[in-house]
Amino acid sequence: SAGIGAFLRNAWNKEPVIMASCGIGLVGAILPFISPLTKYTAMLNAAVPYNYPVPVRDDGNMPDIPAHPREPKGRNLDWIKNL
């Protein structure tokens, strides 16, 4: 532990730009795993469908297709408002 501290102190004294860039790189690699935004991003990605609806010709026997785009069909997304 003391050897690692001496190495880091020596490296900082000799090459501060490289040490700073390594520190920023480590923070950038670790931050997504500890950020709470990762959880909400995953929740939003799960709520967005992969395939978007395309116009279909209504034959009168299509109960699963909304009559209008604003018709509330599918999962409720009120949880987004409560973030």
CA dihedral 82, 49, 41, 30 (to 10 degrees): 160
4: which 2 tokens? 């690692």
What is the value of pTM for the model shown?
A: 0.49
25: which 2 tokens? 């790189």
Q: Report the percentage of the chain scoring pLDDT > 90.
A: 37
Range 7-13 average pLDDT? 96
Q: Is the dihedral of CA 19, 23, 28, 30 positive or negative?
A: positive
- CB under 8 Å to 83, separation ≥6 — which residues? 40
Could you read off the pLDDT of 63-78 as tens digits, one per residue? 777 777 777 777 777 8
pLDDT at 1 over 90: no
pLDDT at 5 over 90: yes
- CB under 8 Å to 67, separation ≥6 — which residues? 58
Band of the pLDDT at 80, cuts 50, 70, 90?
A: confident
Q: How far does Cα 81 stand from its chain's mean position?
A: 17
